A and B are shown apart, each in its own frame.
Chain A
Amino acid sequence: MKYTYIHITQVLMSITVFLLLFPGCKVNFEQFGGFSIRYLDNGCKEVTDGVGRKLLLVPSGCRAVKGNKRAGIVRIPVKRVVVYSTYNAALIKALGHVNSIVGVVIKKDDWYIPEIRNGIANGRIVYLGQYTSIDYERLKRLKPDVVFTWDEGIVPKLDELSIPCVVTTTKIAKDLNAHINFIRFISGFYGEEQRAKGFAESQFERIKKISARLRQAKKAPKVIWGDIYARKVQVEPGNSWAGQMVEKAGGDYLFRDLEGASCMQVTLEKFFSRAKDADILITYRGPESGISSKERLRQSSRLLQMVDIRPMNEGRIYFTGWKLYQSADTAGIIAELAAILHPRLFPEIKKPGYFFELPNK
């Protein structure tokens, strides 16, 4: 067996040498959830968007690589952008480039970012219409460098118009890590990578501090996050940033084991078997969606008229305002949630900014 021993040693040594040399092969590449940026020569970058499309970011003045269609090339740093997602707009604001936004698909009154409200009011920012009926003529006249969209359905039309676009959503829900780090993906278009990295790190640092305070918590309230409609229910899965925020805020998220797309439909049995014992229900359906009280919520859903769940009675229901999606301050959102779940540990947070309790009547 002596020869065996020698060869096993040789094999192990070869593997070790390979693994030691291996990191030398790596390229300059960053990945944030389903999104990635690969840094190429001459300041060019190759980005992969949420549906796996690849775009080439080319510094202004540099010649683009042959073979790429026009809609696949973005000149950077971008100076004129159209945004669909309010969260993307908040991230662009955090990067200090809110003035680069020239078009949106959300009405003025629904914005909480003052620069965008004012921009729409004074005509600097154009409201392009609802996503189902975009005014492509106006969009073309805006000559955006890129369109950040969650609606993959506009890709063929924008390809036709030679306007580059980036799909900012993924099939699988973004987790908390990807949600916060998404600013680093956006920063690639502005050449603000360092600023974005600093911003994301400060967010994680603040979340760590919240977690440290939560160590004193004795009990984790049971939380569900989802919407109950007339005949169906949707919940945030455990892999979503919303579900993970609950955990970070010291809650026991009852759909922790669920994986999938953001706000996914679940069977009624699964929902009600877990929701019946929940302490808190967080829902997107609030006064902005016509639900101003628990009573109204019950009236809007045949399911809630038939099955009782704890949050409808002695438990609490919170609705999220649209502001939740217009803030890059995820750590601030978690802090507020932590204050709801553990008010004694966070006495300084009193005024709600993102979560509002739904009254009984």
Chain B
Amino acid sequence: MNFIRTSWRFLGNASLSLWLIYALFAEFLIGSIIMRHHPSLFHALKDMTLQQWVVLYGANSLRATWWFLGALILLFLLALTTTVCGTDKLIATIGALRGSGLWRGLLKLSPSIIHLGFLLLLLGQLVSHTVGINLHGNILATSGTITVPGSRMKITLKELKVDFFGKGARFLGMDGSPRDCTGVLSIIDAQGHHDRVISINRPVWYKGWSFFIEDFYPKSRGVTRSPFINMVIRKDPGIRLMMGGAILFGLGLIMHLLLVTRFHINRGHSPVNVFITTVPSPVSHKRHHIRQE
């Protein structure tokens, strides 16, 4: 019990969160340089799950990937500290809510909402990268059919039309270059046929799956051969968590802004505390609360 309490206090330490963030900054700085020299190593991340990448690429090229693996560990620790800090903060805030009034009470909860948003963002990313599906190289010619791997869904490309810039195009040198590629995907599953229009900037979403045009052919006018598209098929179960996280994070920030500007609460705290979300212990919070009054 003592160990849990000690660990909790250690993880709830505001300075630990700060050091973790500094370390992450340093890692990402170094990583941005290393990545430039090994682009293909990290491009592979988009094609496979995080665990697959770690086993295949991460472990085989530690000289180039150590910073990324280190960043994963640091992010995990940051998520832990955020959880602990957030819980501490929430307990302290709930204790101090009495007599605050509805709006002021809600606004006081804003740091906890920011915490929760941040955690959901991290969790969403983790879910996306560990259980998400990202399939490249799905090449479909007109009237061609493929089965979506791991499902009973079949996809047929019914139509495909590539538009080109005409003569006198507004952009110099773009005559005859493609302007857009639009097709009709027919999705066949147990519920029947569903036709959806797909184009470069218009992916198709269907029952948790998404279909994107990654490449297409022909790329210039006058080429005589059958056109095709190269599709990326994705299933991203983390996207809702990320969306929820982003909304909560934004909401929390706006609420906190109101807290500071309209109700003049938290004045005197450094901006770092606002964003790093660290009101470390109920004791310090009480002291702060008394000062406000």
Binding site for B on A (CB under 8 A): 3-4, 7, 11, 15, 18-19, 22-23, 25-27, 29-31, 33-34, 36, 38, 48-49, 51-53, 132-133, 152-153, 155-157, 167, 171-172, 175, 178, 231-233, 239, 259, 265, 268
Contacts and interface: CB of A to CB of B under 8 A. Distances in A.
Given A26-B59, A31-B57, A11 B137 contact: no
A126 B86 CA distance: 70
B13 interface: yes
Interface in B211-230: 215, 217, 223-226, 228, 230
Interface of B: 6-7, 9-10, 13, 16, 39-41, 43-44, 47, 55-57, 59-62, 66, 69-70, 73, 77, 135-137, 139-141, 144, 172-175, 215, 217, 223-226, 228, 230
A305 B69 CA distance: 54
Contacts of B44: 31, 34, 36
Given A36-B56, A51-B230, A153-B228, A239 B137 contact: no
B223 A31 contact: no
Nearest to B46: A52
A93 to B, nearest CB: 26
Contacts of B173: 231-233, 265, 268
A277 to B, nearest CB: 22
A28 to B, nearest CB: 9
A241 B112 CA distance: 51
A53 B137 contact: yes
Given A15-B73, A51-B230, A156-B139, A25 B59 contact: yes
Closest 8 CB pairs of A and B: A52-B136, A26-B59, A232-B173, A53-B137, A51-B137, A52-B137, A156-B141, A155-B139
Nearest to B19: A8
B55 A153 contact: no
Contacts of A7: 6-7, 10
A52 B134 CA distance: 10
Contact of A31 (B16, B41, B70, B139): B41
A265 B165 CA distance: 15
Given A27-B55, A231-B172, A33 B139 contact: no
Contacts of A153: 139, 141, 217, 225-226, 228
A250 B230 CA distance: 39
B16 to A, nearest CB: 8
A154 B168 CA distance: 33
21 contacts: A4-B10, A11-B77, A26-B60, A27-B55, A29-B60, A31-B40, A31-B56, A31-B61, A33-B40, A36-B56, A48-B47, A132-B225, A152-B230, A153-B139, A153-B141, A153-B225, A153-B228, A156-B140, A156-B144, A172-B40, A259-B39
- Does more than half of chain B's interface fall in helix, strand or loop, or is it mixed? mixed
Given A19-B66, A31-B60, 15 more contacts: A4-B10, A4-B13, A11-B77, A22-B62, A27-B55, A31-B61, A34-B43, A38-B56, A51-B136, A132-B223, A152-B139, A152-B217, A153-B228, A156-B141, A178-B40
A27 to B, nearest CB: 6
Nearest to B15: A4
Contacts of B141: 153, 156-157
A171 B214 CA distance: 10
A316 to B, nearest CB: 25
Contact of A152 (B40, B55, B215): B215
A167 to B, nearest CB: 7
Given A25-B55, A51-B137, A34 B40 contact: yes
B56 A167 contact: no
Contacts of B217: 152-153
Residue among A11, A26, A171 with the highest chain B CB neighbour number at 10 A: A26
A167 B57 contact: no
Given A152-B215, A172-B39, A52 B9 contact: no
B55 A167 contact: no
B139 A51 contact: yes
A132 B40 contact: no
Contacts of A4: 10, 13, 16
A178 B41 CA distance: 12
A37 to B, nearest CB: 11
A26 B75 CA distance: 22
A132 B139 contact: no
A36 B43 CA distance: 12
A343 to B, nearest CB: 31
Nearest to A32: B40
B33 to A, nearest CB: 15
Contacts of B47: 48, 52
